[in-house]
Chains A and B, each alone.
Chain A
């Protein structure tokens, strides 16, 4: 028998009784696709060395400035609510992650991805692809202009819907800080029903994935604005390592 939202709600409530820390539980069975796709052995703790102490470098030859505007990639203007999303990428010690790659992808305003596997019968927007890239500035700031994505259904269980989100891929200053995550919008009524969001069982940690509406980023007659700062884990490289390498 197909699982209902009530079944999933009960599982989410049961899992929330045992808060498992601020990271997603990779063995979170309410997200059905995870059942056979997570390791059962504990992760093996090692001291990073060699390339693990460094991150790949990206630069202006990798990313064009206009890749940070998802609303100008076609002849016409995409439909939907025009927004700006900005914030800073910081390492776990509060230092800015400068000149590093940020990649984003998302559904259109109707909740449809431009992807052959997306079968949701909502309209495609010929003027919206939903892909952006940018480099962080010297103070770790990233910024892009886009359309607010819509929520969309998926087949995890009967009547499953994902809260609206933008996918982010982020690099730090060492390999161990690599992060792929999803940014959500404040007050989304679907949060409570979504097993991917709820796989993070600590509510304070879930809040870290929710952007803030910022009226100072909103511009007259043009767009509303959201701010989302991204704190990575700490770097393992000491200043001495950096000196050695540059010498």
Chain B
């Protein structure tokens, strides 16, 4: 069957995609909460004020959560999914928990989808946690990326948590991913 093509999220996505608490996977006051934040840039290095990021992640113990409740959060249940729009400075932020490894010995990561006005189809990427160099060096996906571009997939730490910038184009362009069934559908 032929997959339906994507189209840009356009300039008015706030209308349809925003909801209260969408970027707070846990309440900011949660003692385990971290801030995951950064900026989204275009090919001229200008911040993009109308982009949307979605994250999808396991919980800190590496469990993939299969619970509803992301749109109407109850303040207790961790659903593993959130959405954030960028502000006029191109900045986004999430309040969340650090993902754990879903298999022992594997590097944990956030799965990320990026949308923006001007971007005709959504993009996928990953945000890896910094720190465990051995684990990152052993990761099959990171190993498959040219060494000089690997860093674009790895967050850095600040006092509140993690920082991850997205560059849609240009020097240090983020590595964006595709998957076998997408390639086959559109070959």
Residues of A within 8 A of B (CB): 21-26, 28, 31, 33-41, 43-52, 54-63, 90, 92-94, 101, 103-105, 113-115, 117-118, 129-131, 133, 167, 169, 175-176, 178-182, 196-197, 199-200, 204-206, 208-209, 230-236, 245
Contact of B1 among A37, A38, A40, A93 (CB under 8 A): A93
> At the interface, is chain B mostly helix, strand, loop or mixed?
loop
Using known A-B contacts A51-B56, A62-B68, A176-B181, determine if residue A115 contacts B12 with beta carbons closer than 8 Å: yes
- Residues of the B chain whose Cβ atoms lie less than 8 Å from the Cβ of A49: 102, 106
- Residues of the B chain whose Cβ atoms lie less than 8 Å from the Cβ of A176: 124, 179, 181-182
Distance to closest chain A CB from B48 (angstroms): 7
Task: Report the stretch among B30-38, B109-117, B130-138, B155-163 that lies at the interface.
Answer: B109-117
- Residues of the B chain whose Cβ atoms lie less than 8 Å from the Cβ of A181: 4-7
Residues of B within 8 A of A (CB): 1-17, 42-44, 46, 48, 54, 56-58, 64-72, 79-81, 99, 102-103, 106, 109, 111, 113, 115-124, 141, 144-145, 149, 168-170, 173-187
Determine which residue in B4, B177, B182 has the highest number of CB atoms from chain A within 10 A of its CB, and name it.
B4
In the complex, are the beta carbons of B120 and A28 less than 8 A apart? yes
- Residues of the A chain whose Cβ atoms lie less than 8 Å from the Cβ of B79: 56-57
- Residues of the B chain whose Cβ atoms lie less than 8 Å from the Cβ of A234: 181, 184-185
Q: Name 5 extra pairs, CB < 8 A, besides A51-B58, A236-B181.
A: A22-B5, A38-B120, A45-B179, A56-B80, A117-B12
Contact of B69 among A47, A62, A131, A233 (CB under 8 A): A62
- Residues of the B chain whose Cβ atoms lie less than 8 Å from the Cβ of A55: 56
In the complex, are the beta carbons of A58 and B5 less than 8 A apart? no
In the complex, are the beta carbons of B174 and A180 less than 8 A apart? no
Q: Could you list some 24 contacts between A and B, CB below 8 A?
A: A24-B6, A37-B42, A37-B48, A44-B176, A46-B177, A47-B179, A50-B109, A52-B111, A52-B179, A57-B66, A59-B68, A62-B71, A63-B71, A92-B3, A115-B12, A118-B11, A167-B12, A176-B182, A178-B124, A180-B6, A180-B115, A196-B8, A205-B2, A233-B181
Alpha-carbon distance A199/B180, docked complex (angstroms):
23
Using known A-B contacts A56-B81, A231-B3, determine if residue A24 contacts B181 with beta carbons closer than 8 Å: no
A200 (CB) vs chain B CBs: closest residue: B5
Alpha-carbon distance A170/B64, docked complex (angstroms):
20
In the complex, are the beta carbons of B71 and A113 less than 8 A apart? no
Alpha-carbon distance A236/B57, docked complex (angstroms):
17
